[in-house]
């Protein structure tokens, strides 16, 4: 499974993905300093030159890293992608049963590890809370978790092992750009991180220009993880923001149909009885396989939706695609978009 993604109310994101599949001792290292709660997008004492010490602020506390880390561990989603993109193979990273290979390594990570001629990292059990003993065994110099559901207790406990870099504001709500900047600062590689962001943005700009039908189309991003209900992703979810980067706009229905605004979660639920109220150019959803897509569209309430009847439905199909869109990064974005955008543009071309 994908590592557990827990919003503020502690609902397991792993459980959501699992239902989609069904339906379709402490080592204290020098250089670790955790202070009081802070905020900001990876604020740092570094000037971007790679000088240390560097202090990174997060919603869970400020962390000072005294020296350039040599042994890097990651937690949550996406951080391992950024570390690998920067040319470093982590000593430990989450095991991705969902979307990964037999070992639990995502395809874009596997390709990059091979390019770097690295050895397989320690694969961390991501089925629940942060696996403290596995982190101890990995002996990291830093633990990077800018896109995770790390709790304050976990942050404090892991900080006894190594400096921990958490999310700047809310769990599971850090954009791929901010994730990249935060990781770059923590590793003393801000310039390289900025270059990765620019390269990724340039590739998305070129892709959007190739498919002008996408520009300004509205979309509604959801998942059918429970019978009779959609999980609808809000505007601050990175997968929604990724499509914004391609020139698409959020459907007003995302906000208009939200029954629980301000609950701290990255999604809300909408019953099938309210599907007729969705007003959008495109419906974007993810599914574990084509059989799950067929089961969804066979429901009479779903089949009656204009987006379904008129072919303005662009499903992401396959575990790896689900993982890629759920945690966009400088590695997963090109892997996923090059395959998916032509299909998305085909659906956009049907908008009248």
In this predicted model, what pLDDT tens digit does every residue of 250-306 receive, in sequence order? 999 999 999 999 898 889 999 999 999 999 999 999 999 999 999 999 999 999 999
Question: pTM of the full predicted structure?
Answer: 0.80
2: confidence class by pLDDT, cuts 50, 70, 90:
very low
Task: Give the residues across from 249 on adjacent strands.
Answer: 218
Question: Which residues, 6 or more positions from 185, have their beta carbon under 8 angstroms from its beta carbon?
Answer: 42, 44, 46, 54, 56, 193
What does the CA dihedral 302, 308, 314, 316 come to, rounded to 10 degrees? 30
Share in percent of the chain as helix, strand, coil (round to 5): 40, 15, 45
Give yes or no for residue 38 having a pLDDT over 70: no
pLDDT greater than 50 at residue 313 = yes
Dump strand ranges (E) for the chain: 54-58, 61-65, 72-74, 92-94, 122-124, 142-144, 164-165, 218-226, 229-233, 249-250, 267-271, 282-287, 313-317
Residue 240: per-residue pLDDT: 93
Between 29-38, 124-133, 327-336, the lowest mean confidence (pLDDT) is in: 29-38
- pLDDT at residue 45 greater than cutoff 70: no
| Half-sphere exposure (Cβ direction) of 313: Cα atoms closer than 13 Å | 22
Q: Tell me the mean pLDDT in the region 72-81.
A: 97
Task: Reply yes or no on whether the pLDDT at 315 is more than 70.
Answer: yes
Per-residue pLDDT band for 307 (boundaries 50, 70, 90) equals very high
Q: What is the pLDDT of residue 6?
A: 44
> What pLDDT digit, counting tens, does each position of 57-66 carry?
999 999 999 9
Looking at residue 17, what is its pLDDT? 40
Over pLDDT 70: what percentage of the chain? 86
Q: What is the mean pLDDT of the chain?
A: 87
Q: Stretch 327-344: mean pLDDT, rounded? A: 93
The answer, yes or no, to whether residue 202 has pLDDT greater than 90, is yes
Q: Which residue(s) pair with 3 in the sheet? A: none
pLDDT of 11 above 80: no
pLDDT for residue 47 is more than 70: no
What local confidence, expressed as pLDDT, does residue 352 receive? 87
C-alpha to C-alpha distance for 234 and 244, rounded to whole angstroms: 12
Instruction: Name 167's Cβ contacts closer than 8 Å, sequence gap at least 6.
Output: 58, 59, 60, 145, 146, 147, 148, 150, 173, 174
- Which tokens is 55 given? 């202090």
Residue 122's contacts (CB-CB under 8 Å, 6 or more residues apart) are: 73, 91, 92, 93, 134, 137, 138
Looking at the chain, the number of H-run helices and the number of E-run strands are 14, 13
The C-alpha atoms of residue 312 and residue 316 are separated, in whole angstroms, by 13
Residue 29 has pLDDT above 70, yes or no: no
Order of all β-strands in the sheet with 122-124: 122-124, 92-94, 72-74, 142-144, 164-165
Please give the structure tokens belonging to residue 149. 């559901």
pLDDT at 3: 45
Predicted local confidence at residue 26, as pLDDT:
33
Residue 9 confidence (pLDDT): 38
Asked whether residue 35 carries a pLDDT value surpassing 60, the answer given is: no
């Amino acid at each position: 499974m994908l590592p557990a993604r827990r919003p503020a109310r502690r609902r397991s994101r792993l459980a959501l993905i699992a239902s989609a599949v069904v339906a379709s001792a402490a080592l204290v290292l020098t250089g670790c300093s955790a202070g009081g709660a802070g905020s900001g997008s990876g604020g740092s004492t570094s000037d971007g030159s790679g000088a240390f010490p560097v202090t990174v602020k997060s919603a869970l506390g400020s962390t000072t890293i005294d020296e350039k880390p040599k042994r890097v561990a990651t937690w949550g989603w996406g951080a391992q992608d950024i570390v690998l993109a920067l040319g470093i193979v982590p000593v430990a990273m989450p095991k991705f049963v969902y979307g990964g290979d037999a070992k639990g390594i995502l395809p874009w990570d596997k390709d990059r590890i091979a390019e770097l001629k690295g050895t397989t990292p320690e694969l961390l059990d991501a089925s629940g809370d942060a696996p403290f003993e596995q982190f101890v065994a990995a002996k990291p110099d830093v633990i990077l978790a800018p896109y995770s559901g790390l709790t304050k207790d976990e942050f404090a406990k892991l900080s006894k092992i190594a400096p921990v870099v958490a999310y700047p504001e809310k769990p599971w709500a850090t954009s791929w750009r901010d994730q990249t900047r935060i990781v770059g600062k923590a590793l003393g590689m801000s310039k390289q991180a900025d270059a990765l962001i620019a390269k990724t943005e340039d590739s998305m700009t070129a892709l959007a220009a190739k498919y002008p039908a996408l520009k300004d189309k509205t979309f509604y991003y959801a998942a059918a993880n429970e019978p009779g209900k959609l999980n609808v992703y809000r505007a601050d979810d990175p997968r929604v923001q990724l499509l914004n980067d391609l020139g698409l706009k959020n459907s007003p229905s995302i906000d208009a149909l939200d029954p629980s605004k301000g609950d701290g979660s990255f999604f809300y639920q909408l019953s099938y009885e309210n599907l007729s109220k969705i007003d959008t150019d495109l419906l974007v959803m993810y599914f574990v396989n084509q059989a799950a897509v067929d089961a969804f569209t066979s429901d009479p309430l779903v089949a009656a939706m204009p987006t379904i009847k008129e072919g303005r439905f662009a499903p992401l199909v396959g575990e790896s695609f689900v993982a890629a869109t759920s945690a966009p990064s400088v590695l997963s974005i090109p892997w996923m978009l090059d395959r998916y955008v032509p299909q998305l543009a085909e659906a956009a071309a049907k908008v009248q």
